[in-house]
Amino acid sequence: SSEVLEAIENVVQGVFQSLAQKKAPVLTLANRTDWRNIEFKDSVGLQMIPGSTTKRIRSDCPQSARRFALMLKILSMIYKMVQSNTYATKRDIYYSDTLLFGSQSAVDQIINDISCMLKIPRRSLHVLSTTKGFVAGNLCYTEEDGTKVNCTCSATAVTVPSNIQGIKNLTSHAKFILIVEKDATFQRLLDDDFFSKVSPCIMITGRGVPDLNTRLLVRKLWDSFQIPIFTLMDADPHGVEIMCVYKYGSVSMSFEAHHLTVPSVKWLGLLPSDLERLNICRDALIPFTKQDENKLASILKRPYIASQPLWKKELEIMATSKLKAEIQALTSLSSDFLSRVYLPNKLQFGGWL
């Protein structure tokens, strides 16, 4: 915490020095959205390069003066929380003055900017993000306050903890981890008791694009157990994008890649090649939109696709057919095809990439 306080004090001191010299204060941070600042490493994923291009948030420029003021406001709130050892969610910060902040997304962006500027992970700033992910299956752990959590015996999923750093005593007999893109598919597998039928496993869903806590949990489970991690996504560009976030990280959070990415993640399904192999009827497939085409073209250009020739092949099948499918398309074969046939066969015969 002393490191965090010192980092904030240095920023404020810089502001005072500028004012003393009758100069307009400026905050400088690495540009988090510029691909030129990113390098791809197989072992880490997308990470920010040292000496990245920076952006300057000026106090004397109409376009950025408000952002400058909001950054100082949130820095002061973080300073007080670290000093008093209290925590707040991003939501709490927004609701402390909705008129001032204007929107939740403005608060989220500023907190990520501050984390990047100070080079300090967000959870060390005492800011928690609201969790939306679920976990179920063969896993027990103790939360920071001493609460023991057993995901095995629960018929419903457990919410991903909001302080992943604080969980300890993780135990599991799971043979693998299954990341499921969508909540509906996750609930279906839960109803079918999938995680105990095939072999003990841990199931996780970020319910779409994963939040920070879900990604931190996947990473923590990988560090703790070193067991295979598979993803079950829709066969569409959006599903591929989500899988890449778990595996390689995102451009905007590349400054924290070492804590968030799990490059060993494997693509289990739904593969575009499965649609033909299983003879899924065309009525269950959905034609591409212009947005899908653009998203797929952008993914194909990314540096990590060059290191995954088998993935590239699947994406090219999708690009040629201009058709996508949700995991639910498998119910056109039978209502429990996913848990009874598709997943057990894939896991038994190594049908992942």
For the whole prediction, is pTM greater than 0.75?
A: yes
Nearest to 185 by CA among 177, 194, 176: 194
The answer to whether the beta carbons of residues 236 and 146 sit under 8 Å apart is no
CB 267, CB 317: distance < 8 Å? no
Measured CA to CA, the distance from residue 55 to residue 32 in angstroms comes to 9
CB atoms within 10 A of CB 11: 18
pLDDT of residue 52: 66
Domains of the chain: 2-128 (1.10.10.10), 134-349 (3.40.1360.10)
For 72-125, the pLDDT digits (tens) are 999 999 999 999 988 888 889 999 888 889 899 899 889 988 888 888 887 788
How many other β-carbons are positioned within 10 Å of the β-carbon of residue 322?
Answer: 13
The DSSP code for 37 is: G
Residues in the chain, pLDDT under 50 = none
Instruction: List the catalytic residues.
Output: 95
Two tokens, residue 247: 């595996």
Contact status, residue 38 vs residue 19, Cβ threshold 8 Å: no
